[in-house]
Structure 1
Amino acid sequence: MSILVVRHGQTAWSLSGQHTGATDVPLTEVGEQQARALAPAFADRRPALVLTSPRTRARRTAELAGLAAAAPVEVDEDLVEWDYGGYEGRTTAEISEELGRPWSVWHDGVVPGATPGETVQQVAVRARAVLARAAAAEGGGDGEGGGDVVLVAHGHFLRVLAACWLGLSPTAGALFALDAGTWSELGREHGRPVLTRWNVPAGA
């Protein structure tokens, strides 16, 4: 069994670098093309479970990638993006300029705004809950039997999830760049969690 993770296609905010957490931004035309181009990666898969974030950009990506044809697509609230609080809709450059120093969401965190915001540890709690659900779907998590689990979600959340899968600190997600409209595979080698594929472009 593998866990296949999909970052939704391009949005106007992902293109501009704006932090997009709770804001329900739709896919751009390019994002919809990326989502359709993901379909061949899943054509021969028979997933045991397909989960998507409730955000439109993720659900639309799952739809256009044809995942509903393979298994029922279920919405999981734990798959939402990092709550950026007062940094929602802002770019790293804008935040750094305001603070007068380089800023990183991984090490500096966020401030409250219209929403409270989350720490990276709080995001990791949700990621571990998703991984536990994935393990249950494939029969206990030993990698034998069962089917793949597909997760359609967001860049920062999926980077935290990958770090948790590998047993690393959630802040290690900073090391795993993940582009819009890509898919990745979390697998096992000799029983140990590994990254089998990462940041594979749509259509590759």
Structure 2
Amino acid sequence: MTTLLLVRHGATAWTHERRLQGRTDIDLSQAGRADVAALAPVVADWAPRTVIASPLLRARSTARLLAAALPDAPETRVDERWTEHSLGEWEGRTADQLGPDYARWRAGELTPPGGEPAAETRTRVRAAVADAAACSGPVLVVTHGGVIRAVLGTGLGLPSSMLVPAAAPSLTVLEVEPGGVRLRAFNVDVVAGRGG
């Protein structure tokens, strides 16, 4: 059994503006860095031995901050399969601008124009989880909200419509074994004033 610590990256300027980021490469905001620093002791308590990150800057910056809080900070490996799914023409737009299509997308019923279909996201994420579970654990993976939803969908059979978005940043903990995946914690968010 391998413990998988999925962390959604910290907030960016677009997170604060409630803009969809997708694969747009944006770094953390100052507030996002502070939030990651607040989450770091919670992650460190799990004593991850392997660190993997999405190639997007906001994930790599989050991974760097979290790894620096570990006693024996392992080197962070970048894995393209953990990148956020492309939202095509929707990147940079807000839910209000998208109207009812936003809710349909959140429910898994719609792919944004020019975006990555959910089935493709699930396929690459399934392979990434299997490879991460073969590493020396616990394994810290710094990734994105859409990827975390895909992991929960493929591993636990939870439909997108049943999942609240993961906070930025937050921790979701899974136990992965050959027979399946078990959820230990979802959306653990230590930032004051937010639920989790």
> What's the TM-score once normalised by structure 2's chain length?
0.85
Measured against aligned partners, the alpha-carbon deviations of 1:74-97 in whole angstroms (never above 9, x if no partner) come to 000111101001111112221127
Distance 1:81 1:21 in 2: 6
Structure 2 unaligned runs (5+)? Answer: none
**Which of 119, 141, 157 is the aligned partner of 1:151?**
141
**Shift in Å at residue 49 of structure 1?**
2.1
Aligned partner of 1:144 in structure 2 is none
Structure 2: which amino acid aligns with 1:34?
D
Measured against aligned partners, the alpha-carbon deviations of 1:132-164 in whole angstroms (never above 9, x if no partner) come to 1122215xxxxxxxx211110111111111221
Structure 2: which amino acid aligns with 1:173?
S
CA contact (8 A) 2:3 2:133 kept: no
CA contact (8 A) 2:53 2:63 kept: yes
- How many residues were matched structurally? 186
**Which of 155, 160, 167 is the aligned partner of 1:173?**
160
Q: 1:151 to 1:96 in 2, by over 3 A?
A: same
Aligned residues with identical type, % of pairs: 34
**Shift in Å at residue 46 of structure 1?**
3.7
Aligned partner of 2:76 in structure 1 is 73
**Shift in Å at residue 41 of structure 1?**
1.6
CA contact (8 A) 2:51 2:141 kept: yes
Distance 1:127 1:78 in 2: 6
**Which of 171, 174, 179 is the aligned partner of 1:186?**
174
**Shift in Å at residue 2 of structure 1?**
0.8
Q: 1:128 to 1:27 in 2, by over 3 A?
A: same
**Which of 114, 128, 134 is the aligned partner of 1:136?**
134
Distance 1:173 1:6 in 2: 18
**Shift in Å at residue 102 of structure 1?**
5.4
Aligned partner of 1:14 in structure 2 is 15
What is the RMSD of the two structures over their aligned residues, measured on CA atoms? 2.3
Measured against aligned partners, the alpha-carbon deviations of 1:92-119 in whole angstroms (never above 9, x if no partner) come to 221127x6x954242111102xxxx211
